[in-house]
Every structure is written in C-alpha cells, then in structure tokens.
Amino acid sequence: MQCPATTTATRGRPREFDPEDALATALRIFWQRGYEGASLAELTEAMGITKPSLYACFGNKEALFRKALDLYEREKLCYVSSALEAPTARGVAERLLHGALATHCGDNDPQGCLGVISSVACGSEAESIRKEVIARRASSERALVDRLERARAEGDLSEDSDPEALATYLTTVMQGLSVKAGAGTSRETLERIVATTLACWPSK
C-alpha cells in the first residue's frame, strides 16, 4: 500500500511519483476549487498521475480530500496553536488575525480558507465532508475558548467579559476575512480590517 515516510524496499514495480508531492498538489487544487469543484480530471492532471494510481495510493476522492485536509491543518493552520501560546489575550488575538492574514492572503497559496470553502459549498453529495470540516473547526474553537477563559482567570481579560462570546466573535472575523480574501479583496484592505478589529479588542 502507501508508505509515504518509510522508503522500505518493496517488491513489485516502484511508484513513479512522490505521494507527498502529489498530496500537496491535490491540496492546492481543493483549496482553489473546493471539494466538489475539484474534478478528478483536474486533480490527476495537476498531480501528474493517472486515476488508477490515485485510487491505489489514496483510496478515493473523499479519502484524498481528508488527507489533504490533514496536511492543510498540519502545515497551514499551525499558526492557530502557536497563537494560543501568546502570553496575553490580546497577543492571542493579534497572532490569530495576523496568522489568518498570512495564510489566507499569501502570494504563494490560493486565497481564502480551505475550511470555509469546504463548509460553505456546495451540493448534497459532499455532506459528510462538510460535517467533518465543521467538526474539526469546532474543536479548534473550543481550544480558543479555553485559552480566553484562562486569560480571564489570569486577569488580562476583565472579570465581566465573556470568553466564549469573544472567541466566537474572533473566529467570526477570521472567517469573514477568508470570505473577503477569496473574493479578491486586496491585502492592504484586509490588513486594515485586522487593525480595526484589534483597535476594538477589549483587553490589553
């Protein structure tokens, strides 16, 4: 089967492509098109492999998407967990917003957030994909709530503030940023949105 990490000598004809490279390419296509918008024809052409190779290596389209989503969270959403390590609530907000900016409006990657794209779109067939993306997002949002509750306990968020409300508010802004980024809003405008959000943020 597939062994992306260990390059153990196997029998049979060796694979002619690098599964990690191919997966990174698939991620890029899914990121541009969404799950349903990415056809197997476009995927296989971009990855430089044929459909049987794709199915042998990754299972099927849905399994490929989940692996791409894993890669996305591992490599592109790492700013989230590192943001939670900021010393203050304001620092967390700053790192989250600037991280979102860098990740979803960079020059080298598609614009917008794969999670937002996949949860908003599309038809009925992709329902299980949608649910999975929403579930993953919920767990990372819970971590943010916990962090802000800690901030309130530590005093850098005022006693009468609502950590849960602030957390969902913050992710709302981040998701709005992704929508705008995907719609082609300029980076400069997005930076002003982040600045405005931080200017409103109710803590030091």
Enumerate binding residues for DNA (CB under 7 A).
1-2, 9-17, 36, 38-42, 49-53, 55-57, 60-62
At 11, which amino acid appears? R
User: Does 182 interact with a second copy (rule: CB under 8 A)?
Assistant: yes
Report the partner that residue 33 touches, choosing among a second copy, DNA, none (CB closer than 5 to 8 A by kind): a second copy
For a second copy, give the closer residue by CB, 57 or 89. 89
Q: Minimum Å distance from CB 134 to a second copy?
A: 5
> Could you please report the per-residue DSSP string of the chain?
---SS--PPPSSSPPSS-HHHHHHHHHHHHHHH-TTTS-HHHHHHHHT--HHHHHHHH-SHHHHHHHHHHHHHHHTSHHHHHHTTSSSHHHHHHHHHHHHHHHHS-SSS-SS-HHHHHHH---STTHHHHHHHHHHHHHHHHHHHHHHHHHHHHTSS-TT--HHHHHHHHHHHHHHHHHHHHTT--HHHHHHHHHHHHHH-S--
- Per the CB < 8 A criterion, the answer to whether 128 and 69 are in contact is no
55 binds, among DNA, a second copy, none (CB under 5 to 8 A by kind): DNA
Name the residue nearer to a second copy (CB basis): 15 or 193. Answer: 193
Q: Which does 197 bind (CB under 5 to 8 A by kind): DNA, a second copy, none?
A: a second copy
Separation CA 110–CA 118 (nearest Å): 14
Pick from 175, 181, 3: which is nearest to 96 by CA?
Answer: 175
User: Of DNA, a second copy, none, which one sits near residue 150, judging by CB under 5 to 8 A according to partner kind?
Assistant: none
179 binds a second copy (CB under 8 A): yes
> Between residues 58 and 201, which has the closer beta carbon with respect to a second copy?
201
Q: Of residues 39, 50, 60, 158, which one binds a second copy by CB under 8 A?
A: 39
Q: Exactly one of 76, 93, 119, 152 binds a second copy (CB under 8 A); which one?
A: 119
145 binds a second copy per the rule CB under 8 A: no
> Which residues form the interface with a second copy (CB under 8 A)?
33-34, 36-39, 112, 116-117, 119-124, 134, 137, 162, 164-166, 168-169, 171-180, 182-185, 189, 192-193, 195-197, 199-202
